[in-house]
Amino acid sequence: MSQPCFIRPATAADVPFLQACAQSAYEIYIAAIGQKPAPMVFNFEAHLADHTIEVIEQTGGVAGYMVWNLMDKCLFLDSIAILPSHQGKGLASQAMRHLEAQAKANGKAAIELYTNEKMTGNLTLYPHLGFVETDRRQEDGFNRVFFRKCL
Percent of the chain with pLDDT over 70: 99
pLDDT of residue 108: 97
- For residue range 5-64, what is the model confidence (pLDDT) as tens digits? 899 999 999 999 999 999 999 999 999 888 898 888 888 888 888 778 999 998 878 999
Long-range Cβ contacts of 140-145 (<8 Å, 24+ apart): 140/38, 141/35, 142/33, 142/37, 142/38, 142/116, 143/116, 143/117, 143/118, 144/114, 144/115, 144/116, 144/117, 145/114, 145/115, 145/116, 145/117
pLDDT of residue 90: 87
Report, as an integer, the average pLDDT of 107-128: 94
Q: Which residue has the higher pLDDT, 148 or 36?
A: 148
Per CATH, the number for 6-150 is 3.40.630.30
Per-residue three-class SS string for 116-133: ECCCHHHHHHHHHCCCEE
pLDDT of residue 2: 67
Q: Per-residue confidence at 94, pLDDT binned at 50, 70, 90?
A: very high
Report, as an integer, the average pLDDT of 119-137: 94
Report, as an integer, the average pLDDT of 79-98: 91
